[in-house]
Amino acid sequence: MNQRTPILIVDDDEILLEMLRSGLSTDDFRCAVAHTASSAIELLRATPFEVMVVDVVLPDLDGFELTRRAKILRPKMAVIIMTGYIDDFSYDRALEAGASDFIKKPFTFREMQARIKHVRMHEEVRSLLHKDELTDLYNRRGFFTLVEYLLKMAKRQKKCLFMLYADLDNLKYINDTWGHQEGDRALIAVAQILTKNFRESDIIARIGGDEFVVIPVGTAGDHVDSIFDRLYKAVEDYNSMNKRDYHISISAGMAFYDPENPSSIDELLAEGDKSMYEWKRRRKNS
């Protein structure tokens, strides 16, 4: 089984790219290369790279903007920015874009290997702090960390976003009737349904006992109904394939982020919670 770390290197210098690819393609790393930001984005859509090494200067986008877009596609990926102009380099801009580290050209292979191993270790530690142990989704801390960055990007790019807010129905009844171990199994089932139903690049988190959020789940209002329909169909399919003494049931609402009238993360959660309980009320009355 191949356990080598997949790395993407982005630079328009052909000689440097080939040197890095051959020098880093060892027992530890598996390297792919891109000459432009647009080709890098296509590779990122297809492959879950763990590390991206990118030059600041590219033909189409600069390395900072590519980093911003790359972190939306692959939030867990570490990014190292390369620069040959250290006097003009802004570490604050690199951090704001989502980079984990930077390295000054020229550098040695040993230095690059050390940087890659360092950012991977840092991301692994951060992942443990941001992960919900039961469901393997992001926890509340991880959700707030990632969404804060996402909303900054949406505001800058004037991009509308929708956030799904959902909870597992009747968790207390499941715990009281079949025990907390069965309640945990039900929560894990919801996590599996959400993970299979949404994209890998979406932020999926368990933010409370029975509360889950997914963002972004769309950018246009006409997508909302289809998102709900797809989710509830996934729940039905799960129940039909997994015979239990009870059915998994999810209630869901939607919150909207408007870059022209930006809201905080807490305000988005409150809007999603209100929308979900309105849906519960309508379902109960009908």
Angle separating helix axes 180-197 and 224-241, nearest 10 degrees: 130
pLDDT of residue 240: 93
User: How many Å apart are CA 126 and CA 119, to the nearest integer?
Assistant: 10
Burial call 17-49: b when 16+ CB within 10 Å, e when fewer: beebeeebeeeebbbbbbbbbeebbebbeeeeb
pLDDT of residue 192: 95
pLDDT of residue 3: 72
pLDDT of residue 87: 67
- SS3 call for 165: strand
pLDDT of residue 257: 93
Q: Could you report the average pLDDT of every consecutive run of 10 residues in the chain (286 residues)?
A: 80 90 80 94 93 93 92 88 77 81 86 86 77 92 86 84 94 95 96 89 90 84 78 93 91 93 94 91 73
pLDDT of residue 215: 92
Give the chain's length.
286
pLDDT of residue 1: 39
Cβ 61 vs Cβ 29: under 8 Å? no
User: How many Å apart are CA 217 and CA 228, to the nearest integer?
Assistant: 10
What would the two tokens of residue 162 be? 């929708």
The DSSP code for 76 is T
Q: Burial of 175 by CB count in 10 Å (0-12 exposed, 13-18 middle, 19+ buried)?
A: middle
